[in-house]
């Protein structure tokens, strides 16, 4: 089991994060150094999945699947967001050079809480590979790669998200656990 | 003026496409490139693409008007429709696109109501090699969406690439990997 950075469990921090969460068009918080990473055994088994015009990437079970389903983490999400998230799915995605996903793959998605944990090391902005959240009537939200950070975003029906094309010049791959929680 | 008067061969796999080399005569080619160099392009990017563009369909410019005729006069529209065995073509639209280092256009099929043939006139005045990127990649996709790269067409100066738009016409412009400017006039013939 992974450990949440103790800082994020303090009452004052949780209270502040809850306030921050609701400040923008896309309610979100981004928590750097979220876990004690030394406790993570990173060895995902991945297979390529492609739907041309939608995505091309490698996919496997989430590295921290058990943790994302744990009552400890779901309770933590509830305290930060004020929502009642119910676990739906957890996957690990690897976007290597030339890989991508596109926004319209989310077109039929209902209200949800999207959580991304970043395993990507030594990333450069010009390689792309960042996460985009957008909607016709909201300011787009960009989440750049940052090893060890946790991104929590509330998405409504009609909101779209994707991972930007990774440049062929990239020397690394985007590595993320991508978890979705259903909302009432 | 247009130099080419024929479309020699339609390749059917994975979807109908053709390349017409030496499309414009030398004098027109020079004027077109000069005219395109004088435009104020806008940078545009999304999850699908990244490039500079300038819409040419509506502008009134003596050289662009000639180019619009060369690509879309009655003779050429009939020729394109006959060769591709599609319904009569009523109109064309066109835009200028510049892909620089890092720019790309990811796989898509071009399907929008009314579009029947896509075209791209390549106007980069250097020899582009495979390593530089910017090739037009043509894919075959199965029902699940898994693709196979069938062909990479490296842009040749003054060549016109055309293909039939359908739910099979998966293609992309490969990322530009060198410090070049891939210039095209691109658009669609409409039924």
pLDDT in tens, A37-79: 666 778 899 999 999 999 999 999 999 999 999 999 999 999 9
Return the percentage of chain A with pLDDT > 90, whole number.
Answer: 84
Assess whether pLDDT exceeds 60 at residue B5: yes
Say whether residue B48 is in contact with chain A using an 8 A CB cutoff.
yes
For residues B188 and B93, the answer to whether their CB atoms sit within 8 Å is: yes
Q: Where are the domains of chain B?
A: 17-190
Mean pLDDT of B125-145: 97
Assess whether pLDDT exceeds 60 at residue A1: no
Buried b / exposed e over B105-138, threshold 16 CB at 10 Å, is: bbbebeeeeebbbbbbbbbbeeebeeebbbbbbb
From B108's Cα to the closest Cα of chain A, the distance in A is: 5
- Collapsing DSSP states into helix, strand and coil, what is residue A74? helix
Report pLDDT digits (tens) over A117-152: 999 999 999 999 999 999 988 889 999 999 999 999
User: Chain B, 66-105: which have a CB under 8 Å from a chain A CB?
Assistant: 102, 104
ipTM: 0.93
Find the CB nearest A168 among B107, B147, B177. B177
Q: What is the mean pLDDT of chain A?
A: 94
CA distances, B176 to each of A35, B11, B45, B78 (Å): 38, 26, 14, 34
Q: Can you list the domains of chain A with their CATH numbers?
A: 6-34+48-182 (2.60.120.620)
Say whether residue B119 is in contact with chain A using an 8 A CB cutoff.
no
Phi, psi of A159 (to 5 degrees): -75, 145
Output the pLDDT for position A184. 80
For residues B51 and B98, the answer to whether their CB atoms sit within 8 Å is: yes
pTM summary value: 0.94
Terminal-residue alpha carbon distance, chain A: 28
The answer to whether the CB atoms of A102 and B139 lie below 8 A apart is no
Provide the pLDDT confidence category of residue A2 given band limits of 50, 70 and 90. low
From B122's Cα to the closest Cα of chain A, the distance in A is: 23
Classified by CATH at the fold level, domain B17-190 comes out as Jelly Rolls (2.60.120)
Give the least confident one: A40-44, B22-26, B62-66, B127-131. Answer: A40-44
Output the pLDDT for position A25. 85
For residues A61 and A91, the answer to whether their CB atoms sit within 8 Å is: yes
């Amino acid at each position: 089991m992974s450990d949440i950075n103790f800082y994020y469990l303090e009452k004052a921090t949780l209270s502040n994060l809850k306030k921050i969460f609701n400040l923008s068009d896309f309610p979100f918080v981004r928590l750097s150094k979220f876990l004690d990473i030394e406790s993570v055994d990173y060895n995902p088994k991945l297979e390529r999945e492609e739907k041309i015009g939608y995505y091309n990437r490698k996919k496997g079970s989430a590295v921290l699947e058990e943790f994302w389903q744990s009552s400890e983490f779901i309770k933590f999400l509830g305290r930060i967001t004020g929502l009642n998230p119910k676990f739906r799915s957890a996957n690990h995605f690897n976007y290597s050079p030339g890989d991508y996903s596109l926004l319209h793959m989310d077109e039929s998605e209902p209200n949800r809480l999207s959580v991304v944990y970043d395993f990507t090391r030594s990333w450069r902005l010009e390689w792309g590979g960042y996460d985009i959240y957008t909607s016709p009537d909201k300011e787009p939200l960009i989440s750049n790669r940052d090893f060890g950070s946790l991104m929590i975003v509330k998405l409504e029906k009609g909101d779209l998200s994707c991972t930007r094309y990774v440049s062929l010049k990239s020397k690394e791959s985007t590595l993320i656990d991508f978890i979705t929680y259903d909302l009432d | 003026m247009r130099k080419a008067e024929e479309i020699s061969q339609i390749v059917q796999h994975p979807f109908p496409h053709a390349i017409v080399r030496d499309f414009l005569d030398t004098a027109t080619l020079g004027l077109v490139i000069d005219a395109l160099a004088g435009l104020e392009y806008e940078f545009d990017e999304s999850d699908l693409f990244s490039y500079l563009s300038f819409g040419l369909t509506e502008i009134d410019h003596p050289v662009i008007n000639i180019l619009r005729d060369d690509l879309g006069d009655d003779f050429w529209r009939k020729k394109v429709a006959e060769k591709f065995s599609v319904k009569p073509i009523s109109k064309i639209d066109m835009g200028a696109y510049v892909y620089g280092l890092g720019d790309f256009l990811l796989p898509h099929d071009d399907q929008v109501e009314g579009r029947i043939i896509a075209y791209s006139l390549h106007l980069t005045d250097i020899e582009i090699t495979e390593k530089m990127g910017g090739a037009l990649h043509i894919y075959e996709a199965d029902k699940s969406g898994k693709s196979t790269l069938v062909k990479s067409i490296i842009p040749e100066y003054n060549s016109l690439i055309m293909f039939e738009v359908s739910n099979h016409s998966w293609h992309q412009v490969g990322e530009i990997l060198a410090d070049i400017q891939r210039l095209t006039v691109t658009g669609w013939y409409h039924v």
